């Protein structure tokens, strides 16, 4: 039976795997400009202190990723972003696995909850994980989004 694992990204090689997934999903599929997709949080994971990246593997093959931004004050919600799963694995549990790992990390760091900007088509996925929408629809990289929040109890 295939094994799905998730781990915090610690090396440049692991980060390169995550960035390749994001390139395929956001840049190639969704046509997000690379200069909007890749930012300062995507530098050497041993040097960036305000971001945690996770990588999901299926039998050691990278298939999903996401990141937790910790640049807001520690009493604020952490921000999950750049959650991406390769097209051929979107019916697997990879999205849920990466989200749970990022949420666990936010809890471990004492954050009171999570905020994220969800593409409209992904909102049902986040709702199933307990996220609640707020605010109006807005454009990010030309794609409609809404803010969603999860407060830890």
Question: Domain locations in the chain?
Answer: 4-151
Q: How is 33-102 classified by DSSP, letter by letter? A: -HHHHS-GGGS-TTT--SEEEEEEEETTEEEEEEEEE--S-TTSPEEEEEEEE-GGGTTSSHHHHHHHHH
Question: In the numeric block, which tokens belong to residue 65?
Answer: 């990723």
For the stretch 42-95, pLDDT in tens is 999 999 999 999 999 999 999 999 999 998 888 899 999 999 999 999 988 999
Q: pLDDT (tens digit, 9 = 90+) per residue, 103-112?
A: 999 999 999 9
In this structure, CATH architecture of domain 4-151 = 3-Layer(aba) Sandwich (3.40)
* Nearest-angstrom CA–CA distance, 14 and 53: 9
Task: State pLDDT tens for residues 115-146.
Answer: 999 999 999 999 999 999 999 999 999 999 99
- This prediction has a pTM of 0.94
């Amino acid at each position: 039976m295939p094994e799905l694992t998730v781990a915090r990204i610690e090396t440049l090689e692991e980060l390169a795997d995550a960035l390749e997934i994001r390139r395929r999903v956001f840049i190639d599929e969704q046509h997000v400009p690379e200069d909007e997709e890749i930012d300062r949080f995507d530098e050497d994971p041993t040097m960036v202190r305000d971001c945690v990246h996770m990588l999901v593997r299926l039998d050691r093959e990278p298939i999903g990723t996401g990141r937790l931004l910790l640049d807001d004050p520690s009493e604020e919600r952490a921000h999950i972003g750049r959650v991406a799963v390769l097209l051929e694995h979107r019916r697997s549990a990879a999205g849920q696995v990466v989200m749970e790992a990022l949420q666990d990390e936010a809890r471990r760091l004492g954050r009171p909850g999570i905020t994220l900007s969800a593409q409209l088509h992904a909102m049902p996925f986040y709702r199933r994980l307990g996220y609640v929408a707020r605010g109006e629809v807005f454009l990010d990289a030309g794609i409609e989004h809404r803010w969603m929040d999860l407060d830890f109890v």
